[in-house]
Structure 1
Amino acid sequence: MRHTYRCPLRWADMDAFGHVNNVVFLRYLEEARIDFMFRLAPGEGDASFKGGSVVARHEIDYKRQLVHRHEPVQIDLWVTRIGAASATIAYEVKDDDAVYVRASTVVVPFDFASGRPRRLSEGERAFLGVYFEEPEAAAA
């Protein structure tokens, strides 16, 4: 299963050439990830994503330019890896007929009180598992 987030485009997202600046796509991914991990994920305690997480890695492939417009862009998000202390989230920023960006983020749950990463809880693993797709299947 995939989570879909409708991301609004803002006037400030545009660069001098009239398309969405490459750096802005990372903000779009962040908005989709926050909607996924903090709005959908269960839990309120220390052992939940709401207690904290950090980004360990981003990978992004720009497929085509996205010209500024008033309609939101669709971001599909799913999980391609669940480790002991991290997860990889994949994304497509797209419309019905065009993919603008394919990307992935490695997210690490983090205990801000101790200043250290922590292992994924069973609840987090179960939540992520609902959105898991094998990387080969996701690329198709």
Structure 2
Amino acid sequence: MGVFVTGVRPRWSDMDAFGHVNHANTVTLLEEARIELLFTEAARHGVKELAEGMVVAKLVVEYLAPIVFTGEDVLVEMSVRELKSASLTLDYVVRGSRDVNSPVVVKAETLMAPYNVTTARPRRLTEAERDFLAGWRAGGNGA
């Protein structure tokens, strides 16, 4: 697999006075894409624990060009760069349209930690979670 690709649609209300999607709403678009991978796709592969608790420990966003509302999806490509026993780093490349050849407008990364909401404490990744996530390493061939 290697790279997970999904579309997310900016909303008209995401734009600021300068006519582009503002920072807070860009972060929300990244979150929506991440949910598709960590919750929806993981569940499709029988890995449901990720949806029970994941927190963002670090977020880095690099803006290369504005995201502009067009009524169409932007393309988000995600891969797992680093996978540890109790964390993972996701890399994002956001393209200005659904076209894989469209310019990159944002690059980002999130350091994620699995979290037990019952105990309110971080936890270790399960073997099933690690196996699923390893399939999304950049350049990996996945399961």
TM-score (norm 1): 0.89
Alpha-carbon distance between aligned partners in 1 of 2:72 and 2:6, rounded to the nearest angstrom: 13
2:85 pairs with 1:81: no
Kindly, what percent of the aligned residue pairs are identical?
Answer: 37
What is the DSSP-based 3-state SS (H/G/I as helix, E as strand, rest coil) of the residue aligned with 2:134? helix
1:125 and 2:130 are equivalent in the alignment: yes
The runs of at least 4 aligned residues of structure 1 exceeding 2 Å deviation read: none
Which of 101, 115, 123 matches 2:120? 115
CA RMSD of aligned residues (A): 1.2
After superposition, what is the alpha-carbon deviation per residue over 1:10-50, rounded to whole angstroms, capped at 9, x for unaligned? 01111111111122110011001111011011333xxx102
Helix, strand or coil at the partner of 1:38: helix
Whole-angstrom CA distance in 1 between matches of 2:129 and 2:104? 29
Cα distance in 1, alignment partners of residues 54 and 102 from structure 2: 33
Deviation at 1:6, TM superposition (A): 0.6
SS in 2 for 1:92: strand
Instruction: Identify the residue that residue 103 of structure 1 maps to in structure 2.
Output: 108
Question: How many residues are aligned here?
Answer: 131
Aligned ranges for residues 4-23 of structure 1 at < 5 Å? Answer: 4-23=5-24
Query: Are 2:62 and 1:61 equivalent residues in the alignment?
Result: yes
Contact 2:47-2:132 within 8 A present in 1 as well: no
Contact map agreement 2:64 2:104 (CA 8 A) in 1: yes
Deviation at 1:65, TM superposition (A): 1.1
Indicate the residue corresponding to 1:137 in structure 2. Answer: none
